[in-house]
Amino acid sequence: MHEIPVTVTADFTGQSNGDIISDVVFKNFTYNGMVFDTWTTQPFIAGTGVKPVVSFSGYNNDFYTSGQNLDGDRFTGSFYSYTVDPTWPYPMTIGMEMYVSGVGPYYRQNPEDAEVNYTWQVTAVPEPATYGMMLVGAGLLAVCARRRQA
């Protein structure tokens, strides 16, 4: 049986555009502390040109992912809020669905059941131009130091 809260963590890459990150690819996916190898990431709502997305606010998520852990237990899971897709014919829904074979039954959590919380952490990666500016600054410091010695 799943314990509440269910904790899912993952590293992912994608293309940032304001609040939305599209073209999401997951790595280091864990479910309640179990590490899984992620096979696929796709939008939960399939459609032409639809891509998996994550949002920093937690209100524009649409992705489905699957894979398996080292023991061979397979998982499928989706984390969704259908505010991204204007063609979704039902009221806005926020929640998660997760199933891990060998671990427990199908699990679903949405606002009618309990609260769903999202927490995002971003790792800053300097752009190449930043490195260039740092090198120029270090060079200027070296020139100034050399002139003072002369």
Handedness of CA 26, 30, 36, 42 (dihedral sign): negative
Does the residue 13 lie in any domain? yes
Per-position DSSP letters for 11-23, written without gaps between them: EEEEEEETTEEEE
Does the residue 97 lie in any domain? yes
Does the residue 139 lie in any domain? no
Query: Tens of pLDDT along 103-112?
Result: 555 545 554 4
What was the pLDDT predicted at 99? Answer: 60
pLDDT band at 126 (very low <50, low <70, confident <90, very high): low
Total domains in the chain come to 1
What was the pLDDT predicted at 20? Answer: 78
Range of the domain at 74: 8-123
Does the residue 3 lie in any domain? no
Does the residue 83 lie in any domain? yes
What was the pLDDT predicted at 103? Answer: 57
Average pLDDT of the chain is: 66
What was the pLDDT predicted at 25? Answer: 78
Higher pLDDT, 81 or 6: 6
pLDDT band at 116 (very low <50, low <70, confident <90, very high): very low
C-alpha distance from residue 144 to each of 57, 130, 133, 134 (Å): 47, 21, 16, 15
Higher pLDDT, 32 or 42: 32
- In the predicted model, what is the mean pLDDT of residues 93-118? 53
Query: Tens of pLDDT along 6-41?
Result: 677 777 888 888 777 888 777 777 777 777 776 666
Per-position DSSP letters for 45-92, written without gaps between them: S--TT---EEESSSSS-EEEEEEEETTS-EEEEEEEETTS-TT--S--
